[in-house]
A and B are shown apart, each in its own frame.
Chain A
């Protein structure tokens, strides 16, 4: 088990372009989360999946953002028509689901997006 991985680690794109990020959670973790972290701030929740079902989306997730987890394993986060305000670190986390209660979220290294 190598932990949560994210690809790419860094992405520089021009305003208006589309970008896609990938997250591979820890195997057998049912839940997968996406967060966005801007400089000087804590991570902000974007969306999460339980298996392949997207259970919750933040109002931060505008229509330009879409996330998928087609087979309940890896997930992708796509941003269409990027804007400079999208520049941030995008973090992925996963957790097991072993019943009620809360379970530790394990974070990946993040994808740093810079929109020029």
Chain B
């Protein structure tokens, strides 16, 4: 069975500092996609960053970057220069693409950015 595990239920960080959220996953497939989604309080979920498993280079989107370790099945998210607006639930998710469209989510990490 494919699973996604986020071992940090809650984290906090001071504004302008860096924080890393952890995610591990289990799959027997060789081709898949990994995502980090952000769900702000009472607002809808939005995509933060994505990583194709066949790409060795780690994805980066402005202040957000990932550390993708395929052999270890690890996919962590680093947020640099944290801002108050980064306060949200962060979900790690797995998808296989093609005809298997659904995302498999972890339980999430609640991130609080403190002024």
Of the listed residues A35, A42, A101, A107, the one surrounded by the most CB atoms of chain B closer than 10 A to its CB is A42
Does A109 sit within 8 A of B, measured CB to CB?
yes
**What's the least CB distance linking B47 to chain A, in Å?**
5
Chain B contact residues (Cβ within 8 angstroms of A): what range?
Answer: 20 to 34
Of the listed residues B45, B95, B107, B108, the one surrounded by the most CB atoms of chain A closer than 10 A to its CB is B45
Type the 1/0 row for B36-80, where 1 means its CB is closer than 8 Å to any CB of A.
010000011111001010000000000000000000000000000
Are the CB atoms of A33 and B106 closer together than 8 Å? no
Type the 1/0 row for B17-45, where 1 means its CB is closer than 8 Å to any CB of A.
00000000000000001000100000111
Does A41 sit within 8 A of B, measured CB to CB?
yes
Known: A33-B102, A107-B45, A108-B44. A100 touches B107 (CB 8 A): no
Does A84 sit within 8 A of B, measured CB to CB?
no
Are the CB atoms of A55 and B44 closer together than 8 Å? no
Are the CB atoms of B106 and A55 closer together than 8 Å? no
Does A28 sit within 8 A of B, measured CB to CB?
no
Name the one of B33, B37, B91, B108 contacting A102, with C-beta atoms under 8 angstroms. Answer: B33
Nearest residue in A to B4 (C-beta to C-beta)? Answer: A42
**What's the least CB distance linking B23 to chain A, in Å?**
11
Are the CB atoms of B45 and A102 closer together than 8 Å? no
Residue pairs across A and B with Cβ atoms less than 8 A apart, 18 shown, are: A3-B44, A33-B101, A33-B103, A40-B107, A40-B108, A42-B4, A55-B99, A56-B100, A56-B102, A101-B98, A102-B33, A102-B52, A102-B98, A104-B47, A104-B50, A107-B45, A109-B43, A110-B44
Beyond A41-B107, A58-B102, 10 additional pairs, beta carbon < 8 A: A31-B101, A33-B103, A40-B107, A40-B108, A41-B108, A42-B93, A43-B45, A43-B105, A91-B45, A108-B44
